[in-house]
């Protein structure tokens, strides 16, 4: 019943959001159409509900062939593959807004585990892979809140691949925590924390709101 009600509110809120945000979305579309590589949307295969692939919508912020250039699926803080407009869109998370369409279609939820590329998904343990997408992936989620500084962590690391693996090990733990604590309260607080960290990115409030979260060791 929870998932049915959640799907209803996802559809309702995403429809309202699409209408309210349409002026901003139109401005971004115009800017992207006349800058960089003139690409507006970026589509990529991601793992979703019950481990089925779907095409995620994002505003284009990187060069077309980015997955095959440099660090591949790993994006650094000052990644040269990111366009000038893309830097701003990524910093403000505006590049994620087209995923509202994914929510309307039923591919995603507003809150849930972030959908991953298959290569990254396989970094999870078999136990996590089997359960992490028992619910729809989200535009935001507990992993997104905790690893809001993921690009900085990786960029500042002397061993990018090792840091990336450590992040996914911990991210798997917190996503499993979400599956065990999924509720309207949890989802509401994740939305609140997503907004909170835009204003106060160095805050540790998430661990006070959810004291039972697995502790971060790095």
- Domain assignment of residue 137, yes or no: yes
Q: What pLDDT does 149 receive? A: 74
Block mean pLDDT (10 aa), the chain, length 218: 90 96 96 86 94 96 66 62 84 91 97 93 93 95 87 71 83 95 96 91 92 86
- Domain assignment of residue 35, yes or no: yes
- Domain assignment of residue 217, yes or no: no
Please tell me the distance from the alpha carbon of residue 146 to that of residue 124, in angstroms, as a whole number: 17
- Domain assignment of residue 218, yes or no: no
Closest-CA residue to 90 (of 155, 137, 168): 155
| 189-205 per-position pLDDT tens digit | 999 999 998 888 888 99
Give the start-end residues of each E strand in the chain: 41-47, 53-59, 109-111, 138-140
Please tell me the distance from the alpha carbon of residue 168 to that of residue 143, in angstroms, as a whole number: 10
Q: What pLDDT does 155 receive? A: 66
Q: What pLDDT does 66 receive? A: 62
Residue 61 CB partners (closer than 8 Å, separation 6+): 42, 82, 83, 85, 86, 87, 89, 90, 95
- Domain assignment of residue 215, yes or no: no
Enclosing domain of residue 204: 2-209
Task: Mark 26-58 as b/e (b = at least 16 C-beta within 10 Å).
Answer: eebeeebeeebeebeebeeebbbbeeeebebbb
Please tell me the distance from the alpha carbon of residue 40 to that of residue 61, in angstroms, as a whole number: 9
How many domains does the chain contain in total? Answer: 1
Q: What pLDDT does 76 receive? A: 56
Q: Which own/partner contact pairs does 127-135 have at CB distance under 8 Å and 24+ positions apart?
A: 127/176, 128/172, 128/175, 128/176, 129/51, 131/176, 131/179, 132/172, 132/175, 132/176, 132/179, 133/47, 133/48, 133/49, 133/50, 133/51, 134/50, 134/179, 135/3, 135/49, 135/109, 135/179, 135/182
Q: What pLDDT does 73 receive? A: 60
- Domain assignment of residue 96, yes or no: yes
- Domain assignment of residue 61, yes or no: yes
Closest-CA residue to 48 (of 121, 137, 125, 122): 137
- Domain assignment of residue 214, yes or no: no
| 124-159 per-position pLDDT tens digit | 999 999 999 999 999 999 999 998 877 777 767 677
Q: What pLDDT does 67 receive? A: 59
Distances (CA, A) of 145 to 114, 136, 162, 176: 11, 17, 21, 15
């Amino acid at each position: 019943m929870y998932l049915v009600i959640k799907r209803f509110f996802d559809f309702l809120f995403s429809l309202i959001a699409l209408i309210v945000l349409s002026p901003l979305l139109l401005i971004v579309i115009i800017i992207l159409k006349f800058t960089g590589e003139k690409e507006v949307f970026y589509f990529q295969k991601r793992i979703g509900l019950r481990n089925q692939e779907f095409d995620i919508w994002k505003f284009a912020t990187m060069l077309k062939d980015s997955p095959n250039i440099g660090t591949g699926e790993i994006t650094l803080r000052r990644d040269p593959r990111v366009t000038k407009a893309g830097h701003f869109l990524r910093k403000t998370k505006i590049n994620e807004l087209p995923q509202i369409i994914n929510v309307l279609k039923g591919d995603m939820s507003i809150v849930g585990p972030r959908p991953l590329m298959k290569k990254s998904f396989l970094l999870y343990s078999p136990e996590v892979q089997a359960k992490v997408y028992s619910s729809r992936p989200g535009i935001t989620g507990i992993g997104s809140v905790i690893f809001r500084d993921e690009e900085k962590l990786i960029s500042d690391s002397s061993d990018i691949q090792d840091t990336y693996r450590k992040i996914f090990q911990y991210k798997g733990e917190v996503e499993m925590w979400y599956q065990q604590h999924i509720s309207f309260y949890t989802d509401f607080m994740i939305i609140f924390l997503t907004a909170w960290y835009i204003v106060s990115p160095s805050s540790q409030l998430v661990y006070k709101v959810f004291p039972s979260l697995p502790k971060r060791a790095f």
